[in-house]
Amino acid sequence: MQLRKHEQKWAMGTTIIRKSAVRTREKGRDRSSELEYNYKLPISLANFGRGWRGHFQFYFHFWTIGSFRPSVKKLCVKKKLVGCLLMGLMLGTRPPHKVGTGVSTRLVSVFCIASFCLGVLVVNRFWGIPDPVKIDEEASSGGKHQSSELQPVVKCEKKENSVEAGDILSQISQTHDVIISLDKTISSLEMQLAVARAAKADSEEGSPVDTKPGTEQSTKRQKVFFVMGIITAFSSRKRRDSIRETWMPQGEDLRKLEKEKGIIIRFVIGHSATPGGVLDRAIDAEDEQHKDFLRLNHVEGYHELSSKTQIYFSTATSKWDADFYIKVDDDVHVNLGMVGSILARHRSKPRVYIGCMKSGPVLAQKGVKYHEPEYWKFGEEGNKYFRHATGQIYAISKNLATYISVNRHILHRYANEDVSLGSWFIGLDVEHIDDRSLCCGTPADCEWKAQAGNPCAASFDWSCSGICKSVERMEEVHQRCGEGNGAIWHTSF
């Protein structure tokens, strides 16, 4: 009876071992891509003594998948198998006794222990406990393998980051050039659109150009370097003649200057309060003789200089596509070659305002010259104007002239035209160029500069806001401060 109980316990142990083996084998079969090794060690113990009935077997199943180095899951399976074996060995822990004349249960237990040790040796041979160092080596080798796969990507990133500083600067420079080119293109298109709108507005409201009856104004604008408008009045015939006899070319030379150098020079004047009167007919006759006038749709008057200047820029931009537009008074001496050289240095700039910059006091007292009726807009009494070019001569680029033309109906006009012009550019991205060569004194200042080989671009007397007694002295100033009659033809722009 007692032996039968032992047999039942051994049978239960072998059943647990078989179930564990089946579960392990099923897990191993799920990995179809790996090799399966099944090592089966049967150990049969039977007929030990005459009283021993039946027999029993131990089945030790050992699986190694892919390699003889087990994973953590395999170690867990091994622990289950060992546990089953230990449970089987517990059967031999009872006190030894004889079963008839057969072998004692203690001897059976010793034999089971020996079998277990043999099994452990076999297990350790095929399925040794992994060394932690080896596990770390495997992990590191796996990391190296993964890093080797990512190495091309890293190399690509390093290759991209290994661009030399010179190449980066070159790319930045190229990008900057492209941006400048696009900015110029956009500005050009905006200017063309603005001119088209201005032309349409002029046709609807009346052109600022005072054209003669029976003549048609050309819609295509002539491309030139700069347009110089000499602001004059009906009473200034002698001033105009003094300029024609000194620094302004006449007749065929004037046409040649326009064709070869792209320089347009015109006397700028409007009409009288009685259109078609004596004053207007006198200007018509003078223009027929010299063909050097630009007539404006504007009523002449000293206190309307701001409006006249505004209309001049609008008219000039509608007739000529120039890089620069210049305004100059008719009592100022000008060296055209030097003016062209100054403008050529700033030709690539989109918005420039060139002249002798100043910031004079705001004159609030009535009755004085240059009185400012709107002095209160400039702050407290004694304040100064914002920076602006003196009114004797200044130049603005095409973009600024077009801006004035397009917005002339909403631009505020102060009493002094030079202040008005400066106020129109406040808030715009405009570069102010202060060039003192445009405001030399006469005769000593401009004379010694001309003798030194660096003649002034423009000369006048500050005390008179022009050349004092210009009709009598223009010839003298031209002789002492001029650049030479042939200088304009030998100057390259």
pLDDT in tens, 57-68: 444 444 433 444
Domain that holds residue 84: 2-133
Alpha-carbon torsion 73, 75, 76, 82, what sign? positive
Residue 190 has pLDDT above 60, yes or no: yes
Query: Residue 252: inside a domain, yes or no?
Result: yes
The number of angstroms, rounded, from the C-alpha of 130 to the middle of its chain's C-alpha atoms is 61
Residue position matching structure tokens 């403008």: 343
* pLDDT reading at 335 higher than 50: yes
pLDDT at 47: 41
Same domain, 126 and 233: no
For the ranges 208-212, 357-361, 397-401, 424-428, the lowest mean pLDDT is seen at: 208-212
Distance CA 193, CA 116 (A): 102
Could you tell me if 258 and 252 are in contact, meaning their C-beta atoms sit under 8 angstroms apart?
Answer: no
Q: How many domains are contained in the chain?
A: 2
Measure the CA–CA gap between 33 and 246, rounded to whole angstroms: 104
Taking only the tens place, the pLDDT of each residue in 255-299 is 999 999 999 999 999 999 998 899 999 999 999 999 999 999 999
Handedness of CA 112, 117, 123, 129 (dihedral sign): positive
Q: Of 112, 133, 154, which closes a domain?
A: 133
What pLDDT band is residue 301 in, cutting at 50, 70 and 90?
confident
The verdict on residue 422 lying in a domain is yes
In a domain, 184, yes or no: no
- The confidence band for 311, taking pLDDT boundaries of 50, 70 and 90, is very high
Do 407 and 399 touch, CB atoms closer than 8 A?
A: no
Q: 19-23, 104-108, 242-246, 253-257: which has the minimum mean pLDDT?
A: 19-23
Asked if residue 235 is part of any domain, the answer here is yes
Q: Does residue 391 fall inside a structural domain?
A: yes
Q: Distance between CA 415 and CA 419 in Å, rounded?
A: 8
Q: What is the pLDDT of residue 77?
A: 46
Percentage of the residues of the chain whose pLDDT score is greater than 90: 49
Average pLDDT for residues 246-259, to the nearest whole number? Answer: 96
| Residue that the structure tokens 């102010």 belong to | 432
Question: Among 81, 105, 133, where does a domain finish?
Answer: 133
